[in-house]
A = this chain, B = another copy of it.
Amino acid sequence: MVVQRQIHLGAVPYGTGGPGSHTLWLDPEIPVDASVDIDWYAGVAALAERGKFDLLFIVDSQFITPYSPPHYLNRLEPLTLLSALAGRTERIGLVGTATTSFNSPFNLVRRFGSLDLISRGRAGWNVVTTGDAGTAGNYGLDDHYDYDTRYGRAQEYVELARALWDSYEDDAFVRDRETGVFLDRAKQHVLDHEGQYFKVRGPLNLVRSAQGHPVVFQAGDSDQGRDLGASVGEGIFTHAPDIPAGQAFYDDIKGRARDRFGRNPDHLVIMPGIKVVVGDTDEEAREIEAFNNDRDHTFAAALAEFGRPFGWHDFTQYDLDAPFPAETLELGRRSFYTQAKAITDRAVDNGWTLRQTVEATRYFRKSEFVGSATTVADKLVEWWEARACDGFNIGVDHPSNFQRVVDEVIPILQERGVYRADYDATTLRGHLGLPVPVNRHTAARAGAGVPV
Q: Is B110's CB under 8 angstroms from A38's CB?
A: no
A199 to B139, CA, bound (A): 7
Q: Is B74's CB under 8 angstroms from A173's CB?
A: yes
* Interface mask (A72-115 → B, CB under 8 Å = 1, otherwise 0): 11111101110111111000000000000011101100110111
Q: Is A61's CB under 8 angstroms from B137's CB?
A: no
Our pick among B16, B38, B72, B203 for the contact of A86 (Cβ within 8 Å) is B38
Q: Is B103's CB under 8 angstroms from A64's CB?
A: no
Interface of A, secondary structure class, is mixed
Q: Is B36's CB under 8 angstroms from A206's CB?
A: yes
Residues of B within 8 Å of A70, CB to CB, are 182-183
Nearest B residue (CB) for A117: B36
The answer, yes or no, to whether A33 is at the interface (CB within 8 Å) is yes
Q: Is A205's CB under 8 angstroms from B79's CB?
A: no
* Interfacial residues of chain A within 16-34, with CB under 8 A of chain B in the complex: 16, 23, 25-26, 28, 32-33
Distance of A422 from chain B, by nearest CB (Å): 23
**Given A66-B188, A80-B114, A188-B66, A75 contacting B36 (CB threshold 8 A):** no
The answer, yes or no, to whether A433 is at the interface (CB within 8 Å) is no
The answer, yes or no, to whether A5 is at the interface (CB within 8 Å) is no
Distance of A110 from chain B, by nearest CB (Å): 5
Our pick among B75, B106, B205 for the contact of A75 (Cβ within 8 Å) is B205
**Given A42-B87, A200-B138, A118 contacting B73 (CB threshold 8 A):** no
Q: Is B139's CB under 8 angstroms from A87's CB?
A: no
Q: Is A173's CB under 8 angstroms from B114's CB?
A: no
A403 to B115, CA, bound (A): 28
A180 to B298, CA, bound (A): 12
**Given A85-B87, A140-B199, A111 contacting B77 (CB threshold 8 A):** yes
Q: Is A182's CB under 8 angstroms from B73's CB?
A: yes
Our pick among B83, B110, B177 for the contact of A62 (Cβ within 8 Å) is B110
Q: Is A182's CB under 8 angstroms from B76's CB?
A: no
